[in-house]
């Protein structure tokens, strides 16, 4: 197998892992079918995976597999693609996100209803909040790094717009949640929908990174692969 063919296989393998991660991370969509009596947007996604939920193990397994798949993708991205500052930050943060997601699945909420939050083990609840915060923060760092790389390294224009759409979706979801949490009426009925918008943008980020691997031009521009670097050392920024 030639070096070019080997590179193509590596690119497809990492892209496939990223797309698989995006699909697995969207396990909350199953709530429309499995939790039909409660509504697909009811509550936060973490509540679907609570230990008192009938299908909680399914959503926890989805998060676990997401973390494992994306951790492998991050390791391969760091070791098999040329080192450029922005993409290296992106791969590294993706790995942190993966580890945080695995931890999130192993430290689920004990209760899915706001009324019984007080009955949850304080330490377990705090650990879950910590792992969730680490995951989301790492996801933001990775997404921002890759999206900036798409602009700075002059990827195809279609990817510029895709990156902008991911950013807009995430900002809309985040601002919506902030406004909803501070709603003086105490009505948080739309927070679940706002969080799903955030989660959708995060899946979009994974697919976007996969696209930079599958596109020949983006592979050269974003990841810095040249004919020389494909056969020797990683390219510099």
Considering the domain boundaries, does residue 222 fall inside one?
yes
Structural tokens at position 39: 């509504």
* Collapsed DSSP state (helix, strand, coil) of residue 37: coil
Considering the domain boundaries, does residue 44 fall inside one?
yes
**What confidence score (pLDDT) does residue 236 get?**
38
Report the candidate in 163, 211, 220, 234 with the shortest Cα–Cα distance to residue 15. 211
Considering the domain boundaries, does residue 236 fall inside one?
no
pLDDT tens digit string along 2-20? Answer: 667 888 899 999 999 999 9
**What confidence score (pLDDT) does residue 203 get?**
95
Report the candidate in 203, 192, 194, 72 with the shortest Cα–Cα distance to residue 143. 203
Helix axes 157-181, 191-214, angle to 10 degrees: 160
pLDDT tens digit string along 172-201? Answer: 888 887 776 655 555 556 778 888 999 999
Percent of the chain with pLDDT over 90: 49
**What confidence score (pLDDT) does residue 78 get?**
95
The number of domains in the chain is 1
What secondary structure letter does DSSP report for 190? Answer: T
**What confidence score (pLDDT) does residue 110 get?**
81
Arithmetic mean of pLDDT over the chain: 84
For 133, the domain range is 3-231
pLDDT tens digit string along 95-151? Answer: 999 999 999 999 888 877 665 655 555 666 788 889 999 999 999 999 999 999 999
Q: Is the pLDDT of residue 77 over 90?
A: yes
Give me the helices (H) in the chain, please.
3-25, 31-34, 45-48, 56-80, 85-106, 122-152, 157-181, 191-214, 216-221, 227-231
For residues 220 and 229, the answer to whether their CB atoms sit within 8 Å is: no
Considering the domain boundaries, does residue 237 fall inside one?
no
Structural tokens at position 15: 């892209």
pLDDT tens digit string along 17-35? Answer: 999 999 999 999 998 888 7
What is the value of pTM for the model shown? 0.86
CA angle 22, 132, 17 (to 5 degrees): 20
Considering the domain boundaries, does residue 180 fall inside one?
yes
Considering the domain boundaries, does residue 207 fall inside one?
yes
CA angle 40, 134, 33 (to 5 degrees): 15
Distance CA 53, CA 28 (A): 13
Q: Is the pLDDT of residue 152 over 70?
A: yes
Distance CA 126, CA 76 (A): 32
CA angle 75, 78, 83 (to 5 degrees): 180
Distance CA 100, CA 111 (A): 20
* pLDDT-based confidence at residue 156 (cuts at 50, 70, 90): confident
Structural tokens at position 40: 């697909």
pLDDT tens digit string along 209-219? Answer: 999 999 988 88
Query: What are the residues whose beta carbons fall under 8 Å from the beta carbon of 10, sequence distance 6 or more?
Result: 76, 80, 81
For residues 87 and 145, the answer to whether their CB atoms sit within 8 Å is: yes
């Amino acid at each position: 197998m030639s070096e070019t063919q080997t590179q193509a296989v590596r690119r497809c393998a990492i892209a496939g892992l990223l797309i698989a991660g995006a699909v697995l991370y969207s396990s909350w969509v199953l709530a429309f079918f499995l939790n039909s009596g409660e509504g697909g947007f009811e509550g936060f996604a973490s509540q679907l995976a609570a230990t008192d939920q009938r299908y909680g193990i399914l959503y926890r397994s989805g998060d676990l597999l997401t973390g494992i798949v994306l951790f492998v993708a991050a390791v391969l991205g760091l070791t098999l693609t040329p080192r450029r500052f922005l993409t290296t930050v992106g791969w590294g943060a993706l790995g942190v996100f993966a580890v945080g997601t695995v931890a999130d699945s192993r430290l689920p909420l004990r209760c899915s209803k706001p009324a019984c939050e007080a009955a949850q083990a304080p330490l377990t609840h705090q650990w879950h909040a910590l792992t969730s915060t680490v995951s989301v923060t790492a996801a933001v760092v990775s997404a921002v790094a890759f999206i900036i790389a798409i602009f700075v390294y002059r990827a195809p224009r279609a990817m510029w717009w895709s990156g902008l759409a991911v950013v807009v979706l995430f900002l809309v979801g985040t601002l919506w949640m902030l406004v909803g949490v501070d709603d003086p009426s105490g009505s948080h009925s739309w927070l679940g929908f706002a969080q799903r918008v955030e989660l959708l943008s995060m899946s979009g980020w994974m697919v976007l990174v996969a696209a930079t691997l599958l596109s020949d031009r983006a592979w050269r521009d974003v990841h810095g692969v040249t004919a020389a670097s494909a056969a020797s050392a990683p390219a510099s920024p």
